[in-house]
Structure 1
Amino acid sequence: MELYQTRFAEKLKEALTAVSPTIGIVLLLSFTIAPIPPSILLLLLFGAVLLIIGMMFFTLGAELAMTPVGEKIGTRIANSRNLGIVLLLCFLLGFIITISEPDLQVLAEQVPSVPNAVLILAVAVGVGFFLMIAMLRMLFSKTLRSLLILFYFLVFVLAFFVQDDFLAVAFDSGGVTTGPMTVPFIMALGVGFAAVRSDKHAEDDSFGLVSLCSIGPILAVLLLGLLYHPESTGYAGSEIPVIRDSVELWRYFAAGLPKYIEEIAVSLLPIILFFAVFQMISLKMRGRPLKKIVIGMVYTYVGLVLFLTGVNVGFMPAGNYLGAMIAGLSYRWVLIPIGMVIGYFIVKAEPAVYVLKEQVEEITSGAISGEAMGLSLSLGVSVSIGLAMIRVLTGISIFWFILPGYLIALALSFFVPKIFTAIAFDSGGVASGPMTATFLLPFAMGACEAVGGNIVQDAFGVVAMVAMTPLITIQIMGAVYKYRFAHARAEEALEASYLDIWADDDIIEL
């Protein structure tokens, strides 16, 4: 019990550190250049409390349950000698986990051009298919870079033929698919597969699953755009709630809570059933390890319910209203630097970012620090939100940002260590989680509506931009790492050659 109390205290501190800067920035803006009604402010503050508690439960639950379950299932699947069964199980896992992803539900509800079920099923099939490809890459030790170049080439060829209403949504779907439910499980699955291999590149290859699974939804929605012709693509803005007192505030959250209790139950159920079947047939865990996983599943469920209630009910209206207020100013250009500052801090509150940083530190034995990863992600997201706000103000197509961005990212992959490329492309999907979908996307929508832009074409794409820039910043970190390592090796060689000219007695005397 004392151990759990200590872990809870650690996770609470992490959550407070992550969320406090964003709340502080919003409060500063609300008391200065962008006044917001008391009802919106109350929603934001109460939502922040739920978000912090939810993050605390979720991150601990992911450590106790989602990660170990993913690793164990990955190891057992990889040990199977039947390639057909391996591929079938990978497809089913990808499909099940994607339908379980809360971020995708959030995006689907905000996309006016496609029915929710159609979009979710298309994305789930894309993830399932690409999880099979990712596992084949690991089993046969193929390079990630060549696959990324091939599939992103297909993505951009298709993008030329798809109408603008589908373009931003397609790239957004690639970002939201890899959220708090998907990332811990898929990354752990990769570690489990890598554990079966004994070669020196196995650890490097354990990364890259998230990056490949992010491509599947993009291709699926682009294909959907070629085949599906919706009758209406108009966007209807959401109503701003009016809260008169604390009782109404509680009723508003209480009305939203059952929806997320049911949604997360439906989301987690397939994963729990899959684990239960594996447990009975193959794993056969007993005692404390099994109890730990059950407790972790409960924590994950409670954490996601509280987190999603907080961000959807509390943060979404605040983001929308704040974006509209700032864009309505006579000096609306200030939207760009404000968006960059919010982007820098908001990525720290993404639950899946913690999972990625811990996984990177563990796999690399601390050679790549979580702190350096966090800084690179924050800088990347800051730049991406700045570019997204430029799109909102100018109406420039997302294509002219995404195409050069991915070309730069793929070009950098030729000059940095392989592991940094894999981590970078994984990070893109991880950075674009529920905080992006429920605060930054409504923020862009509110701003776009205020300037009279096309919301579907100009505001959507924020998630895609957030998913793109970390690919560049983390690979730049890899280039710096490579340079420092080479420089240190050169100094060691120089020192060794200098000592070679001395006799042994002289060295001892020295």
Structure 2
Amino acid sequence: MREKAQESVKAVLPVMVIVLILSFLIAPLSPDIMVEFMTGAVLVIIGMAFFSLGAEVSMTPMGERVGGNLVKTKKLWFIIGTGFVLGMMITISEPDLQVLARQVPSVPNMVLILSVALGVGLFLAIALIRILVGFALAPLLILFYLLIFLLAMLAPADFLAVAFDSGGVTTGPMTVPFIMALGVGISAIRNDRHAEDDSFGLVALCSIGPILAVLILSLVYQTEGSFSPEIGRNIATSVEVGQLFFEATPDYMKEIAVSLLPITVFFGLFQMFSLKLEKKTLSKILIGLVYTYIGLVLFLTGANVGFIPAGNALGTVLAALPYSWILIPLGMLIGYFIVKAEPAVYVLMKQVEELTDGAISGKAMQISLSIGVAVSVGLSMIRVLTGISVLWFLIPGYVIALGLTFLVPKIFTAIAFDSGGVASGPMTATFLLPLAQGACIAMGGDVVRDAFGVVAMVAMTPLITIQILGVLYVRRETQSADRSTGVEYQVDISELFAEYEDDEIIEF
């Protein structure tokens, strides 16, 4: 717990310092918003520590054991059906999906939720089949993203940003560790050399389903976007701040309980009928679930109550400055650090390090993710200031990302497309998106068209930066092999002269 707490402090502290410096120098924020933000940041730090520990001792072992047990049944229809049902159950209970549903007013909430859940369930089933048969990930990604952009050309403009955002919000911090571990468990049954590579990619494919679902809905429903910003509550005393957080906590306790229930029930059924784990192992997993629950409740309470008003207010103040262009470098700075506070990022980094035996370091991945998110936030602020359509950034971005799949090892492609869904988590939705929304309102722009799309941009740029890391990795390995070959060559030459005396060699 001490180690997790230190990681959490290092992740959140830079964002706190940046907001404090901005509020004291160029972007004054009201005292109530600042107190809410600081209180929320403390809860986020504590929540991250509990979540990281809980995911490590419960969610990951659960997913790996369920995945391995599924394959042992040797019944393809059962594996596909289980993946489909599990994908739907997890998605329906995802809290961020409720937020997404409210952003598309003319589509009934339940229609949108069930459509997105259907998309995730279908693509989770496809992802499991891909692992079992060993089919390459890159061709599937190219095929499905071509379909996405063809549908995007037909979709109304008000649907585009929300549709692409949906791919990020439905792969939340609770479901990502379980889904990733599920892939590890299933691929572990295979003994071929590509099994570890194929264990990644589930999150990448599951992120496609929601985008397709919302784009298809856009062909049926016509909508004009609506948005109500979250503003400060005019808090007068510290007691009122406490009440604000205490009143919100029961709602998040209920949301997270509903979200964890499907996975817990699912695992419980496997335990009863198939797994039969020892009491000690089972107790450890149950304790980890409690840690996960506590962590997510604290994290989401702090992020939603404390960060959303601060993000909106900061964006509004910065955009109103005579030099509003400062939004671009400041957004990039915040984006660079805020991705480190995404709880699922640490789960991905740890899994990558373990499966590659440290060949791909967590630090290199974190730097690549930070650079990617910084670029995406900078581009998002350009969109806010200029009103450029999100497709002008997404289409070239995905063309580059899909083109890089031909140049890097398979594992880098899978990790990169997984990292897109992982990076676009609750911190993006509760701080970066409100930052863009506040700036858009101050600029008099269309919030639904110009501000939404931040999540989509954050989900896109890591696909490029992680694969560039793969290109550098390949180059380093090639250089290392060349140096190794050179050493062997020198040894061979020296052996040729071993039978001669020194003066004979000189003469020669």
TM over 0.5: yes
Distance 1:348 1:61, change over 3 A: same
- Determine the C-alpha separation between the residues in 2 that align with 1:118 and 1:337: 39
Report what 1:4 is aligned to.
Answer: none
Partners of 1:490 and 1:436 lie apart in 2 by: 43
1:340 maps to which of 328, 332, 336: 332
Conservation of the 8 A alpha-carbon contact between 1:106 and 1:437: no
Per-residue deviation, residues 153-181 of structure 1 (Å, max 9, x unmatched): 10000000000111101100001122201
Measure, in 2, the Cα distance between the counterparts of 1:228 and 1:488: 56
User: What number of residue pairs does the alignment pair up?
Assistant: 502
* Contact 1:70–1:186, Cα closer than 8 Å, also in 2: yes
- Conserved 8 A contact 2:103-2:225: no
AA in 1 matched with 2:253: I
The 1-side partners of 2:319 and 2:440 are apart by 8
Following superposition, the deviation at residue 228 of structure 1 comes to: 2.0
Distance 1:346 1:111 in 2: 27
Q: Which runs of 5+ in 2 are unaligned?
A: 503-508
Counterpart for residue 453 of structure 1: 445
The one-letter amino acid of 1:368's match is I
SS in 2 for 1:498: helix
CA distance in 2, matches of 1:442, 1:113: 22
Partner of 2:378: 386
Q: How does 1:252-291 map to 2 (within 5 A)?
A: 252-291=244-283
Looking at structure 2, the residues matched to 479 and 101 of structure 1 have their Cα atoms a distance apart, in angstroms, of 35
Deviation at 1:114, TM superposition (A): 3.8
Work out whether residues 419 and 462 of structure 2, in 8 Å CA contact, stay in contact via their aligned partners in 1: yes
Q: Note the 1:105-144 alignment, pairs <5 A.
A: 105-144=98-137
Q: Cα–Cα, structure 1 residues 502 and 225, in superposed 2: closer, same or farther, change >3 Å?
A: same
Indicate the residue corresponding to 2:316 in structure 1.
324
Q: Distance in 1 between matches of 2:105 and 2:317?
A: 23
**2:199 matches 1:206:** yes
C-alpha separation in 1, matches of 2:101 and 2:457: 18
CA deviation map 1:218-260 (0-9, x unaligned): 1011011111234x52223333211100110011111111110
Q: Which whole-Å CA distance do the structure 2 matches of 1:236 and 1:115 have between them?
A: 18
Q: Does 1:482 align with 2:478?
A: no
Shift of 1:506: 4.2
| Cα deviation digits, residues 110-136 of structure 1 (max 9, x gap) | 554544333322211111000111111
Aligned positions of 1:76-115 closer than 5 A: 76-115=69-108
CA contact (8 A) 2:229 2:312 kept: no
Q: Which amino acid aligns with 2:74?
A: R
TM-score by length of 2: 0.96
Residues 231, 312 of structure 2: 8 Å contact kept: no
Equivalent residues of 1:107, 1:437 under 8 A apart: no
> Are 1:362 and 2:354 an aligned pair?
yes
Give the counterpart letter for 1:462 in structure 2.
V
Identity of aligned residues (%): 63
Alpha-carbon contact 1:102-1:181 (below 8 Å) kept: no
Which of 31, 37, 44 aligns to 1:44? It is 37
Cα distance in 2 between the residues matched to 1:467 and 1:237: 23
Q: Secondary structure at the match of 1:160?
A: helix
**What residue identity is the alignment partner of 2:61?**
P
Alignment of 1:237-252 (within 5 A): 237-252=229-244
Q: Secondary structure at the match of 1:501?
A: helix
Residue type at the aligned position of 1:84: W
Q: CA deviation at 1:505?
A: 8.5
Unpaired runs of at least 5, structure 1: 1-7
In the other structure, the counterpart of 1:163 is 156
Q: 2:462 aligns with which of 446, 470, 474?
A: 470
Whether the aligned pair in 1 keeps the contact of 2:156 and 2:222 (CA below 8 Å) is no
Displacement of 1:270: 1.1
1:178 aligns with 2:171: yes
Structure 1 position 290, deviation (Å):
0.3
Q: Judge conservation of contact 2:230–2:308 (CA < 8 Å) in 1.
A: no
Deviations 1:311-335 (A, max 9, x none): 0011001001100000011110000
Which residue, 491, 494, 507 being the options, matches 2:486? 494
**1:435 corresponds to which of 427, 431, 451:** 427
TM-score, normalised relative to structure 1: 0.96
Deviation at 1:281, TM superposition (A): 0.5
Q: Which has the larger radius of gyration?
A: 2
Question: Partners in 1 of 2:24 and 2:106 — Cα distance?
Answer: 37
Range 158-167 or range 111-120, more displaced? 111-120
On the 8 A contact 2:389/2:449 being kept in 1, the answer is yes
